[in-house]
């Protein structure tokens, strides 16, 4: 059985009137059981020089309504560059240079990326999934 542990820390001394210090750790499991997720696409990197939307994750390649986890990062140091993330027809938001997301993905709709620039633009990604 595979074991994958993730953690996130969010810290800010001045975002609100109080200090924010959130530190969470979890072990990734298959849907509805304690068995660990045991499949991965491996870390990939997609580089494009177009601003056209493209599919990063094709839903039909993965089971519907599973406990998949998706990671996307924009490795650029340029904070003015961004990618718009869309799942199905719903825009999820933008990731700017240096940003990342780690989120559940149910496998029911394609994940698409729309770069903001037509210069060399990279997106790093991987999916941890179950069959």
Q: What's the pLDDT tens digit per position in 26-63?
A: 999 999 999 999 999 999 999 999 999 999 999 999 99
Residue 54 lies in a domain: yes
1-10, 42-51, 53-62, 81-90: range with lowest mean pLDDT: 1-10
Rounded Cα gap, residues 122 and 124, in angstroms: 7
CATH number of domain containing 42: 2.60.120.10
Identify the band that residue 68 occupies on the pLDDT scale cut at 50, 70 and 90. Answer: very high
pLDDT exceeds 80 at position 1: no
Number of domains observed in the structure of the chain: 1
DSSP for residue 34: S
Residue 29 lies in a domain: no
| Res. 8: pLDDT tops 90 | yes
Q: Is residue 50 part of a domain?
A: yes
CA distances for 17 relative to 8, 12, 14, angstroms: 22, 10, 7
Residue listed under structure tokens 């390649």 = 61
Residue 98 placed within a domain: yes
17 confidence band (pLDDT: 50, 70, 90): confident
Query: Which residue carries 């020089």 as its tokens?
Result: 49
Q: Is residue 18 part of a domain?
A: no
What does the pLDDT read at residue 15?
A: 92
Residue 76 has a CB neighbour count (10 Å cut-off) of 22
Decide if pLDDT at 2 tops 90. no
**Contact criterion met (CB below 8 Å) for 120 and 47:** yes
In a domain? residue 95:
yes
Domain boundaries, position 55: 38-129
């Amino acid at each position: 059985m595979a074991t994958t542990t993730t953690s996130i820390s969010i810290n800010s001394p001045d975002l609100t009137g109080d200090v924010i210090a959130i530190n969470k750790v979890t072990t990734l499991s298959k849907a509805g059981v304690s068995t660990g997720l045991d499949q991965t696409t491996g870390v990939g990197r997609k580089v494009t020089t177009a601003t056209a939307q493209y599919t990063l994750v094709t839903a039909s390649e993965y089971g519907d309504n599973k406990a998949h986890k998706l990671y996307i990062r924009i490795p650029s140091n340029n904070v003015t560059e961004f990618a718009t993330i869309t799942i199905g027809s719903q825009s999820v938001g933008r990731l700017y240079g240096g940003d990342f997301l780690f989120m559940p993905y149910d496998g029911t709709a394609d994940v698409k990326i729309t770069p903001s620039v037509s210069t060399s633009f990279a997106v790093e990604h991987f999916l941890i999934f179950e069959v």
